[in-house]
Structure 1
């Protein structure tokens, strides 16, 4: 482990991933494993001084997806859930004060049959290491850490959390960590969704210029979070020369209109495949950080998504950039 307690620790990140990804975890398919993972997260947050609130939910007739393993994207696995009961964990620092917060979140569940090291123990590990670093701030920042349930069933937990947080003190911004630990430096390792080059020519050209190497973190943002995306990219470059941030702006507006436009432009739907989307849908600026999941990682949603496949030094740099962005979330003009 690093001797400097103010820096992210790659060994600590690996320890978190190894515990969480010891087995598949799901409220429906592996409830015991999910309870063990939840207890681990709660204990780790509490140990470094965070106050953790467990927020259970009980919802009916939710349009979502199936959490069976496989490489298909969320949008291609629709399912209507008759009833779902789960729980999110929300944590804050004592003395942080009142007012709108920045949310840093990741989902805890994995799909059936997959230990989910990258998807998404990697994201939860970053949340836990972010907790340790923020607890050392001289003035407690107004940051809420969120660990979501049932992302793999269609962002169910994040929908509940976004509603609860928006009705509380309000949310200035949100950072979603979605599959952030897998990197591949070889040429041709990065693939693009069908139709992506036509809809997002600049990001496609940047990927092509680097010979389709999977050596970057994709920072998905909208106009409302463009300044935060730039801040994250600069912080990542300062944290490690080995971590490149590639910005991708979703041209849709925040709110319901953006959700409806996505139904008509399928490539755009890939940009809303994680827990930031419910925040966007409520008009809240948000970022999704991702290694692009199934477009890079051959282990996505499979039994081979294990801790040994991840790059923990780069994951530490992802953590560092996330901490910097969370404590200094920049304001951006509202999306038009």
Structure 2
């Protein structure tokens, strides 16, 4: 009897903790079959596939042990953005690991409040990194095309948006390229409204039980079918999580979920957004949940053919739409 009581107590504590971190998100979750791709979406899908195949296929692993491949990735990112008519900045920094380089470009006005969206172009040593994180970089590159003309045509309608390709995400926190960038923004007194890290966007599954969780009781609140995009932040970023989920659900047929949790749940911090928490900025990662769904995480098998490009396209369109909402100068509800 005592054992049963202890099990019941443990279950109650787990459920109670889960209820503290699982937020009720605005808007209905998308359901049903995805619509057929439009001609415009097919073009976008082709471009996303091209970026992933270039980065994870032709170039391959982009680890510090392969300096040439990292420079090729930088050149490719710069070439794509310059082809869109964008001004591209290279931010070089030095750490005990050696030199690193972030690349960024901005949309909208030249000053004022700033939103930051990022992806990382580096990989672990032996993985070509198709999902981690060529998928995020591909979307980041296309955001310049999806939003650039609109932001330029209506400069008074939007706040400033910075797109950043970070180096060294796959290192320890003090040495991450995002940390150097975030600290630089803080020193400059930039008014950063929020930050979104595009961290693995290409893996989806309709199979029951395909979604796992870093904290088992979350399965009581979240779908166990890995067919959705997730917006994940800390408790201080909960309003940003809610805004992003609400906007994405209103704009996209791709299902999405949101989670804001205490930082004690360490898996919520595993990307560049955590470096912005350190300077007091609301930040989250947009993700397919990494190894909690994707079996090829950090493996040589993380190759371009593993990704779901239809849903990656919907993710790109949905993120572009929610950025229009976030960056709008119009008051939000």
TM tier relative to shorter chain? 0.7 to 0.9
Could you say which residue in structure 1 is the equivalent of 2:111? 98
Question: Which residue is equivalent to 1:219?
Answer: 231
Which residue, 246, 249, 256 being the options, matches 2:260? 249
1:111-260 correspondence runs (5 A): 111-137=124-150, 138-140=153-155, 141=158, 142-155=160-173, 156-168=176-188, 169-193=190-214, 196-197=215-216, 201=217, 203-207=218-222, 210=223, 212-241=224-253, 243-252=254-263
State the match for 1:41 in structure 2. 77
* CA distance in 1: counterparts of 2:255 and 2:114, whole angstroms: 27
What's the secondary structure of 1:299's corresponding residue?
coil
Which residue number in structure 2 is paired with residue 271 of structure 1?
268
Q: Which stretch of structure 1 is more off in the superposition, 272-281 or 162-171?
A: 162-171
The whole-number CA distance in structure 1 between the counterparts of 2:235 and 2:85 is 35
Cα deviation for residue 321 of structure 1 reads 2.2
RMSD: 2.2
**Structure 2 counterpart SS, 1:328:** helix
Q: Which moved more, 1:319-328 or 1:290-299?
A: 319-328
Alpha-carbon shift at residue 226 of structure 1 (Å): 2.9
Deviation at 1:55, TM superposition (A): 0.6
Higher relative helix content:
2
Q: Is it true that 1:32 corresponds to 2:68 in the alignment?
A: yes
What is the deviation of 1:85?
1.4
Q: In the TM superposition, what is the alpha-carbon distance from 1:322 to its structure 2 partner?
A: 1.7
1:330–1:91 CA distance, 2 compared to 1 (3 A): closer
User: In structure 1, what is the equivalent of residue 320 of structure 2?
Assistant: 323
CA contact (8 A) 1:232 1:324 kept: no
For structure 1, list consecutive stretches of 5 or more residues without a partner in the other structure.
Answer: 61-82, 253-261, 263-267, 332-336
Deviation of the 1:32 alpha carbon: 1.0
Counterpart CA distance in 2 for 1:330 and 1:15 is: 28
Distance in 2 of aligned mates of 1:302 and 1:223:
31
Whether the 8 Å contact between 1:104 and 1:143 is mirrored in structure 2 is yes
Q: Deviations over 1:64-103 (max 9, x none)?
A: xxxxxxxxxxxxxxxxxxx33111001113x623112100
Tell me if structure 2 keeps the 8 A contact 1:24–1:30. Answer: no
Q: How far apart are residue 3 of structure 1 and its match?
A: 4.6
Contact 1:118 1:305 in 2 (8 A): yes
Q: How many Å separate the matches in 1 of 2:50 and 2:252?
A: 21
Q: Do 2:252 and 2:317's aligned partners in 1 also have CA atoms closer than 8 Å?
A: no
Q: For residue 311 of structure 2, what is the aligned residue in structure 1?
A: 314
Aligned to 1:21: 56
1:288 maps to 2:285:
yes
Alpha-carbon deviation of 1:288?
A: 0.6
Structure 1 Cα separation of the partners of residues 239 and 83 of structure 2: 33
Partner of 1:59: 95
The structural deviation recorded for 1:133 is: 0.9
TM-score under structure 1 length normalisation:
0.78
SS at match of 2:170: helix
CA distance in 2, matches of 1:187, 1:132: 36
Aligned partners of 2:101 and 2:202: how far apart in 1? 25
Name the stretch that deviates more: 23-32 or 153-162.
Answer: 23-32
- What number of residue pairs does the alignment pair up? 283
Whether the 8 Å contact between 2:248 and 2:321 is mirrored in structure 1 is: no
Q: TM-score, normalised by structure 2?
A: 0.79
